[in-house]
Amino acid sequence: MTSISPAARIPSPHAPRILFIGAGSQGHAYASPIVKQGLGHIVGVCEPIPYKRQEFGQKYIWGVTNRSPLPHEEFDSWEDFLKYESTRRIRVSAGEIREGNEEFKGVDAVFVCVLDELHVHVVKGLAPLGVHIMCEKPLATNLDDCTSILGAVTRESEVLGRKTVFGIGHVLRYSPHNVMLRKLVREEKVVGDVVSVEHTEPIGWWHMAHSFVRGNWRRQDMTAASLLTKSCHDIDFLMWLLCSSASPNERDPPHVPSFITSTGNLNQFRKARKPLAAGTATNCLSCPIEASCLYSSRNIYFDKLLDVGDTDWPLKSVVPEIEDLYNNDGKETAKKRLLEVLAEDYTTETPDLEVKERAWYGRCVWECDNDVCDDQIVTMTWEDDPLPSSAVNGTAETKSTGEVGGLNGRAAKTAVFHMVAPTEKICERRGRIYGTTGEISYDSDTISVHSFVTGETTLYTPEGRGHGHGGGDDWLAENFCKAVQAVLSGEMEVDVAQRRWLGVDIEEVVRSHVAVFAAEKARKERIVVDWKKFWAEEVEARLHSS
């Protein structure tokens, strides 16, 4: 385990003190740029797996100054932190300890990077503390919990008499590529008014098997539908592109969809597709056709990763300590431990609770207990929704949609999203945007704009693509920390900092999630969901009853 280089920037005096709850791959994705760029002080970590907790602390907390961890810097669970923080605040109020003492300072912000189903408990537990919160996506795994979080955060702000910054891991909003794409479409209107959008997320053939067939996100009763756990930020990307105000400084009502529908299934990874030659084998390492199977766990995790020295994600999901084993004890020791984990299996006699409590990375992909979609299409339809554009005798009037310019840029349009598993590309989005004066095609690297007016095509290659969702992970971490710092320094009020640096508030976060839940309702019930009716019955009713 190694710490971040001493060359990392020194945080400013108003940089936030940050706690991380969850030390998995996404926790590292946010923590690394924070420390490297001096965006904040990471002062604590909550993580139940000792190795992960120690690795995180060594890289970003106590290892930075080459010392041993202090008790208030590491916790087994987020509940332990809440107990500690409650006691600390009582002692400060009683004058037993001084908060100015470095050892007894509190935290300003928390990154919530635990499993999806725990988000609601952690966020609602943190809300009364009045800390700024950045929650990894999705906000929660069901609509009840999403609205419950919205209600809790709003309510606690009223009780505390002050608002707090709230971020969500919809990282596609923050990649330089998507920021440029949206600017071209919404602000510069390089293709006129949008008529239709096609957007695809290619999950990747082995990535689907790793995360959504064998891994933590394979069962809806464990987490949620794959449209939520994998693609909620793609739906958010479309809502951001087509629904939200062109600029975060504008406060126009959102142009919400009118109707949403969806179809999708678990098409590939099911027992009916199991090769006959595999027989009754349920684990790769005991399968007679393992050597020739495309989804052999030995092939994916050893041949393609460990054998070439790649010990980062996804291999660390299988064996968290694999990097240390490889570097300190050699490849053979690391291989032995990896094969031990891949050999682990369950039978029909194993209690279901035991099966679903963990991932089974050596399990046959045709014999898993997965039930989430590996192919799904969502269609969102917008109708004309012009805003009042003039005031006559003090009364705002809405132009007729038959008038020239009467739509105020809020014309009817459609968006089609396709989430598909068997792809060469791994999460490298692509799409097309059709407008009244041109057409855009994009992938994860480039944006191509063709003008019907000039007949010319312009190619854009945004800089700073980086790692982690095209640089979105880094930029979200940076923007969140800058928003919190602006509040702590007194430079901005929370609402201003929220819009300036994050461009979204918690109400808009919930709106994007509602679109996902509406799509899932449409898919399961084979219906077309009316947005206004769904919002009134499923969102407003919940908020009013909470």
| Lowest-pLDDT range of 183-197, 216-230, 379-393, 523-537 | 379-393
Q: With CA atoms as reference, report the closest residue to 84 among 41, 24, 129, 34.
A: 129
The domain spanning residue 95 has which CATH number?
3.40.50.720
Determine what percent of the chain is predicted with pLDDT higher than 70. Answer: 94
Q: Are residues 248 and 380 in the same domain?
A: yes
| Lowest-pLDDT range of 14-23, 58-67, 173-182, 496-505 | 58-67
CA distance 164 to 495: 9
Helix axes 78-93, 119-126, angle to 10 degrees: 0
Q: Are residues 442 and 384 in the same domain?
A: yes
Work out the average pLDDT over 435-458: 97
10 in a structural domain: no
Residue ending a domain, choose from 302, 325, 356: 356
**pLDDT surpassing 70 at residue 464:** no
253 in a structural domain: yes
pLDDT tens digit sequence for 96-141: 888 777 778 999 999 999 999 999 999 999 999 999 999 999 999 9
pLDDT tens digit sequence for 209-264: 999 999 999 999 999 999 999 999 999 999 999 999 888 777 789 999 999 999 99
126 in a structural domain: yes
The whole-number pLDDT of residue 541 equals 86
367 in a structural domain: no
| Lowest-pLDDT range of 10-14, 179-183, 203-207, 338-342 | 10-14
Q: Are residues 156 and 290 in the same domain?
A: no
Q: Are residues 251 and 381 in the same domain?
A: yes
Residue ending a domain, choose from 321, 356, 391: 356
Largest CA-CA distance found in the chain, in angstroms, rounded: 82
The whole-number pLDDT of residue 5 equals 56
391 in a structural domain: yes
52 in a structural domain: yes
CA distance 36 to 15: 13
**pLDDT surpassing 80 at residue 405:** no
Q: Are residues 500 and 383 in the same domain?
A: no
Question: If pLDDT is split at 50, 70 and 90, which confidence band does 85 have?
Answer: very high
Q: Are residues 97 and 193 in the same domain?
A: no
Q: Are residues 339 and 485 in the same domain?
A: no
Work out the average pLDDT over 403-420: 86
DSSP result, 356-410? HTS--TTB-TTSS---S-SEEEEEEEE---PPP-EEETTEEEPPPTTSTTTTTT-
What is the enclosing helix (H) or strand (E) of 485?
Answer: helix 472-488
**pLDDT surpassing 50 at residue 392:** no
Q: Are residues 455 and 482 in the same domain?
A: no
435 in a structural domain: yes
**pLDDT surpassing 70 at residue 37:** yes
CB 143 within 8 Å of CB 42: no
Q: How many domains does the chain have?
A: 3
104-121: buried (b, 16+ CB within 10 Å) or exposed (e) per residue?
A: ebbbbbbbbbbebbbbbe
Determine what percent of the chain is predicted with pLDDT higher than 90. Answer: 84
CB 327 within 8 Å of CB 316: no
29 in a structural domain: yes
* Tokens standing for residue 379: 């269609």
Which phi and psi angles does 544 have, rounded to 5°?
A: -70, -25
The whole-number pLDDT of residue 3 equals 61
The whole-number pLDDT of residue 511 equals 96
CA distance 98 to 25: 35
Q: Are residues 377 and 428 in the same domain?
A: yes
**pLDDT surpassing 60 at residue 488:** yes
Residue ending a domain, choose from 356, 385, 408: 356
DSSP result, 90-103? HHHHTTSS-TTSGG
What is the enclosing helix (H) or strand (E) of 524?
Answer: helix 506-525
What is the enclosing helix (H) or strand (E) of 138?
Answer: none
Dihedral of the alpha carbons of 282, 285, 290, 291, in degrees to the nearest 10 = 180
**pLDDT surpassing 70 at residue 465:** no
Q: Between 153 and 393, whose confidence is greater? A: 153
**pLDDT surpassing 50 at residue 277:** yes
Q: Are residues 397 and 495 in the same domain?
A: no
Work out the average pLDDT over 192-216: 97
The whole-number pLDDT of residue 139 equals 97
The domain spanning residue 536 has which CATH number?
3.30.360.10
The whole-number pLDDT of residue 414 equals 98
**pLDDT surpassing 50 at residue 516:** yes
* Tokens standing for residue 526: 């084979």
What is the enclosing helix (H) or strand (E) of 495?
Answer: helix 494-497
Q: Are residues 236 and 302 in the same domain?
A: no
**pLDDT surpassing 80 at residue 67:** yes
Look up the domain containing 532 and give its range.
Answer: 172-205+212-268+372-467+512-545
For the chain, how many helices (H) and strands (E)?
19, 17
- Average pLDDT of the chain, as a whole number: 92
CB 104 within 8 Å of CB 110: no
Q: Are residues 106 and 69 in the same domain?
A: yes
CA distance 309 to 307: 6
* Tokens standing for residue 506: 């918690």
pLDDT tens digit sequence for 151-173: 999 999 999 899 999 999 999 99
What is the enclosing helix (H) or strand (E) of 25?
Answer: helix 25-36
